[in-house]
């Protein structure tokens, strides 16, 4: 089953001249959401590099770090693919403290109840189409299906605060992490529904890895 089992997915487009059975064998889904894996790392990094370096001068995750998190916790990532092409993604990991520290940038804490969202990025061709908010919404709904997750956190530059507020994130305060001259705001989203009853009501299933 795909990553967000409780949510509807866009159906593959079928050519009227080809039977559905044959179409399923020879074409890719028009739109698909799934966990990322290490084979996706280069595509992820190319999108991330283009999105962030021109604005901030650096990437939230370098290529080796992308591979690192996709190996340790692929279930906390989500990629949006259109006809097999990665168009947007989120990478997260578990964290076990109230606030983010430098260690949160590189460590995955499997016993933590917080998901640290490292990066959300959209391919330049697909920006200004609402894909970022849609992907974030799906990701947060998916986190509700994980019994160990109580909240999601992220750090962002000040100009991005309104964007994440629209997805339900609340400002926690200034982040203790700085990167060169860049400072960040720390934000959190309470993930409710860790109870088994809530999970069952969402029809949640563990994503395929």
* Positions marked catalytic: 93, 107, 118, 120, 164
Q: Which residues contact 181 (CB under 8 A, 6 or more apart)?
A: none
Angle formed by the axes of helices 41-56 and 63-72, nearest 10°: 130
What span, in angstroms and rounded, lies between the C-alpha atoms of 21 and 18? 8
Between vectors from CA 35 to CA 37 and to CA 43, what angle results, nearest 5°? 50
Number of Cβ within a 10 Å radius of residue 38 = 14
- C-alpha 181/C-alpha 158 separation (Å) is 13
Name which of 205, 207, 171, 203 is nearest 187 in CA terms.
171
- Give the integer Cα–Cα distance in Å for 82 and 56: 27
């Amino acid at each position: 089953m795909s990553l967000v089992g409780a949510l509807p997915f866009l159906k593959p487009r079928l050519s009227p001249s080809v039977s559905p059975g044959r179409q399923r064998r020879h074409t890719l889904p028009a739109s698909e959401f799934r966990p990322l894996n290490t084979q996706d790392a280069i595509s992820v990094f190319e999108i991330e590099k283009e999105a962030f370096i021109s604005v901030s001068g650096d990437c939230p995750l370098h290529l080796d770090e992308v591979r690192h998190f996709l190996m340790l916790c692929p279930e906390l990532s989500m990629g949006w693919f259109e006809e097999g092409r990665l168009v947007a993604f989120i990478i997260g990991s578990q964290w076990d403290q109230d606030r983010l520290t430098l260690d949160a940038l590189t460590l995955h804490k499997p016993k933590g109840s917080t998901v640290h969202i490292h990066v959300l990025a959209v391919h330049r061709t697909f920006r200004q189409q609402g894909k970022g908010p849609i992907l974030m919404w799906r990701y947060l709904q998916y986190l509700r299906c994980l019994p160990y997750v109580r909240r999601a956190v992220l750090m962002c530059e000040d100009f991005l605060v309104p964007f994440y507020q629209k997805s339900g994130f609340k400002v926690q305060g200034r982040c203790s992490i700085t990167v060169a001259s860049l400072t960040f705001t720390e934000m959190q989203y309470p993930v409710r529904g860790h109870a088994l009853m809530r999970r069952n009501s969402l029809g949640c299933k563990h994503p395929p890895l």
